[in-house]
Amino acid sequence: MLGNRSVTDFDHTHDQVFPVRPDLASTAHINEAGYREAYDQAASNPEAFWAKEAQRVAWIKAPTKIKNTNFTGDISIKWFEDGVLNASASCLDRHLAERGDQTAIIWEGDNPNDSKHVTYRELHEQVCRFANVMKGLGVGRGDRVTIYLPMVPEAAVAMLACARVGAIHSIVFGGFSPDSLSNRIQDCNATLLITADEGRRGGRSVPLKANADKALASCPSVKNVVVVKVTGGKVAMQPGRDHDYATLVADASPVNEPEPMNAEDPLFILYTSGSTGQPKGVLHTTGGYLVWASYTHQNVFDYRPGDVYWCTADVGWVTGHTYIVYGPLANGATTLMFEGIPTYPDASRFWQVIDKHKVSIFYTAPTAIRSLMRDGEGPVKKTARTSLRLLGSVGEPINPEAWLWYYHVVGDARCPIVDTWWQTETGGILISPLPGATALKPGSATLPLPGVRPLLVDGDGKELTGATEGNLCLSDSWPGQMRTVYGDHARFKQTYFSTFPGLYFTGDGARRDADGYYWITGRVDDVINVSGHRMGTAEVESALVAHPKVAEAAVVGFPHDIKGQGIYAYVTLNAEEEPTEELRKELVAWVRQEIGPIASPDAIQWAPALPKTRSGKIMRRILRKIAANETESLGDTSTLADPAVVTELVQNRVG
């Protein structure tokens, strides 16, 4: 049941097709014929296609070399390599003449009484001032700056000021622990940290500065800390190291020349989880990323001047980078930045914000939709939402039930939904409907954008054709692709290009139907997707085994109604330890403290032993089945060293 309606009320069939709305087919930036043409051009002559699209950003020196990419050998990806630009100037300075007084950022606070508008002119001035502050602190081209801020306009100011002086920003989500923050600072040797006294979320405060102080105890590279006053909460300031943001900015000059950057100079690092080891620093460069951000923001959301565009992500994730800051600002859009959560003060908040600010394009995650569905239609229907014309989804597969609720209840069957598939690594959207070109099927990300060459391969890397299911790869580069893992090119090559040589492997599985539509089935590696957040099972395991009472741990994902996937941990204790409820709680708290709240295990099962092959490999396939309660179909267990282990685990399954 969906609150007061069941899914069958929406005439739900899995192959239901929603044709392109005729008015959109004639008014959208790209219609069906336009899509086919663009797709063919980008495939047959990428140089010409992207030379033209590159003109959407402001170049100091326009590129003449367009594409120079190689998915074999050492893997080298270069786009627009002789072009010179500055991302901050492309997002700000060039809009001043035409739309200096237009709102760039609408900020909506956690408290529904707090909101403000920042114009392009004001944002430009703040960025120039803060760029001068950073220069004064000795930060320049190529230096790394870690940003650990809540959802306040200063987060966008900090990003753009880094871009302005040529520094590389690395944003760490405010929900990460001091340990996670310190690992990410150490990996890139950041010299400056920008943080806040506290964050605010759902009426509660998050102790960012206190967390930062803990992290910095093990980060000698950080010479300066700039602290934005958000709540005014009392925090310790270390003289000489810590500085008040407002004071520095007030004293700085509002005039700043943007640093001319090469298209292939790094713009940012963003850490993301993989199937092994510690999170890796995904590196994006300036020209290709910005062109891709602008191209996809304009066409996927069919953005038009006058739209009020709202992406509910946090700037700590890639979606916030590309679709709150860089894409919308590159296109001169009005972008809404929301500090709060969907359920505070109540489950109507999203829809009230839409009415308050006349939002026309709304982009959120399936997990938010599913959690709001629980409260039924009431909280939605008490708002008007007449300003809405387009809805978007990102972060994980959207189940058809959630899609239909989003379409019928939120969008009043009037707004197309763009289900956008992409990754931190891809920089921007790769597979998505275009509102004026693509008929929609609930649950399908539909078709690749121009310039995107997906293919499905079997376990041996053999291409599968026609309607089929397999491992999702990309056979050629697109401008927004990541360039390397910061400081570890070998890991880049190993992670993405070694499984299927010559192809970029996404880590996702997908089905392709007879219409060529892609249906992403989820990760096929040891990455789990919890509420749209990527979590490596290896990370959670290493946090668990770091606890003094834990001998061994194995972590898998399991289906979760709201989160998409939940975290299920099998824990083997040291011989002398007793498995108690108290210890279970202690381990959950331990993981939260080690990694952050998003990594909290949903279930911990005490495992006297783990199922292993005779060569000692944990058989995760079996652990996944037990966690999902699919114990009748455990598959082949003949290679197990001790089959009795499985019987024990099945009997004592939690949940």
**Residue 203 labeled ligand binder:** yes
CB 391 within 8 A of CB 410: yes
**Residue 201 labeled ligand binder:** yes
Closest CB to ligand 6R9 among residues 401, 508: 508
Q: Does 180 bind ligand 6R9 (CB under 6 A)?
A: no
Query: What minimum distance in Å lies between the beta carbon of 381 and ligand 6R9?
Result: 26
**Residue 620 labeled ligand binder:** no
Q: Which amino acid is at 466?
A: G
Query: What minimum distance in Å lies between the beta carbon of 472 and ligand 6R9?
Result: 8
Closest CB to ligand 6R9 among residues 252, 472: 472
**Residue 202 labeled ligand binder:** yes
**Residue 8 labeled ligand binder:** no
**Residue 370 labeled ligand binder:** no
Q: Does 445 bind ligand 6R9 (CB under 6 A)?
A: yes
Please list every residue from 490 through 519 that binds ligand 6R9, using CB under 6 A.
506-508
Structure tokens at 238: 């270390």
Closest CB to ligand 6R9 among residues 228, 430: 430
Q: Any idea what DSSP says for residue 373?
A: H
Query: What minimum distance in Å lies between the beta carbon of 588 and ligand 6R9?
Result: 23
Q: Which residues contact 220 (CB under 8 A, 6 or more apart)?
A: none
CB 59 within 8 A of CB 83: yes
**Residue 577 labeled ligand binder:** no
Q: Report the C-alpha gap between 31 and 483 in whole angstroms.
A: 32
Q: Report the C-alpha gap between 342 and 384 in whole angstroms.
A: 17
Closest CB to ligand 6R9 among residues 166, 397: 397
CB 87 within 8 A of CB 162: no
Q: Does 189 bind ligand 6R9 (CB under 6 A)?
A: no
Closest CB to ligand 6R9 among residues 472, 645: 472
Please list every residue from 541 through 570 that binds ligand 6R9, using CB under 6 A.
none
Q: Which amino acid is at 613?
A: T
Query: What minimum distance in Å lies between the beta carbon of 439 and ligand 6R9?
Result: 17
Give ∠ CA 289-292-297 in degrees, rounded to 5: 125
Please list every residue from 379 through 408 that binds ligand 6R9, using CB under 6 A.
393-397
Q: Report the C-alpha gap between 268 and 144 in whole angstroms.
A: 9
Burial label for 571, CB within 10 Å (0-12, 13-18, 19+), is: buried
Q: Report the C-alpha gap between 203 and 339 in whole angstroms.
A: 11
Query: What minimum distance in Å lies between the beta carbon of 323 and ligand 6R9?
Result: 9
CB 231 within 8 A of CB 197: yes
**Residue 614 labeled ligand binder:** no
Closest CB to ligand 6R9 among residues 166, 274: 274
SS3 call for 285: strand
Closest CB to ligand 6R9 among residues 284, 523: 523
Q: Is the peptide bond before 379 cis (omega within 30 degrees of 0)?
A: no
Half-sphere exposure of 597 (CA within 13 A, CB side): 5
Q: Does 423 bind ligand 6R9 (CB under 6 A)?
A: yes
**Residue 107 labeled ligand binder:** no
Query: What minimum distance in Å lies between the beta carbon of 419 and ligand 6R9?
Result: 5
**Residue 422 labeled ligand binder:** yes
Query: What minimum distance in Å lies between the beta carbon of 273 and ligand 6R9?
Result: 8
- Total residues contacting ligand 6R9 by CB under 6 A comes to 25
CB 564 within 8 A of CB 532: yes
Q: Does 421 bind ligand 6R9 (CB under 6 A)?
A: yes
Q: Any idea what DSSP says for residue 254?
A: S
Which residue in the set 129, 534, 560, 563 belongs to the binding site for ligand 6R9 (CB under 6 A)?
534
Q: Report the C-alpha gap between 474 and 640 in whole angstroms.
A: 36
**Residue 144 labeled ligand binder:** no
Query: What minimum distance in Å lies between the beta carbon of 540 and ligand 6R9?
Result: 16
Which residue in the set 296, 529, 565, 605 belongs to the binding site for ligand 6R9 (CB under 6 A)?
529
Closest CB to ligand 6R9 among residues 176, 245: 176
* β-bridge pairing 417-420 and 454-457: unpaired
- Per-residue interface string for the shown chain with ligand 6R9, residues 234-273, x marking contact by CB under 6 A: --------------------------------------x-
Q: Report the C-alpha gap between 42 and 450 in whole angstroms.
A: 6
Q: Does 312 bind ligand 6R9 (CB under 6 A)?
A: no
Q: Which residues contact 545 (CB under 8 A, 6 or more apart)?
A: 551, 552, 553
Strand partners, 570: 554, 605
Q: Report the C-alpha gap between 95 and 256 in whole angstroms.
A: 16
Q: Does 279 bind ligand 6R9 (CB under 6 A)?
A: no
**Residue 304 labeled ligand binder:** no
For residue 168, the tally of other CB atoms under 10 A from its CB is 23
Which residue in the set 523, 547, 560, 563 belongs to the binding site for ligand 6R9 (CB under 6 A)?
523
Which residue in the set 319, 335, 471, 477 belongs to the binding site for ligand 6R9 (CB under 6 A)?
319
Q: Report the C-alpha gap between 563 and 548 in whole angstroms.
A: 30
Q: Does 211 bind ligand 6R9 (CB under 6 A)?
A: no
Closest CB to ligand 6R9 among residues 170, 393: 393
Closest CB to ligand 6R9 among residues 67, 534: 534
Q: How far is CA 323 from CA 52, 315, 329, 348, 450, in A?
A: 22, 9, 9, 23, 19
CB 361 within 8 A of CB 407: no
Which residue in the set 170, 180, 335, 424 belongs to the binding site for ligand 6R9 (CB under 6 A)?
424
Exposure string over 202-212, b if 16+ CB within 10 A, otherwise e: eeeebbbbebb
Closest CB to ligand 6R9 among residues 16, 205: 16
**Residue 590 labeled ligand binder:** no
Give percent helix, percent strand, percent coil of the chain, each to the nearest 5: 35, 25, 40
Which residue in the set 318, 535, 607, 645 belongs to the binding site for ligand 6R9 (CB under 6 A)?
318
Residue among 400, 397, 406 nearest 373 (CA): 406
Candidate ranges 10-18, 131-139, 421-429, 459-467; the one touching ligand 6R9 (CB under 6 A): 421-429
Q: How far is CA 320 from CA 156, 325, 507, 550, 567, in A?
A: 10, 7, 22, 36, 24
Q: Report the C-alpha gap between 81 and 64 in whole angstroms.
A: 8
Q: Does 443 bind ligand 6R9 (CB under 6 A)?
A: no
**Residue 461 labeled ligand binder:** no
**Residue 395 labeled ligand binder:** yes
Please list every residue from 81 through 140 that binds ligand 6R9, using CB under 6 A.
none
Residue among 429, 382, 435, 375 nearest 405 (CA): 375
Candidate ranges 87-95, 312-320, 552-560, 639-647; the one touching ligand 6R9 (CB under 6 A): 312-320
Known binding-site positions:
201-204, 319, 395-397, 419-424, 508, 523, 531, 534, 545, 547, 550, 592
Known binding-site positions for CoA:
201-204, 319, 531, 592
User: What residues line the site for ligand 6R9 (CB under 6 A)?
Assistant: 272, 317-319, 393-397, 419-424, 445, 506-508, 520, 522-523, 529, 532, 534
Known binding-site positions for Mg(2+):
545, 547, 550
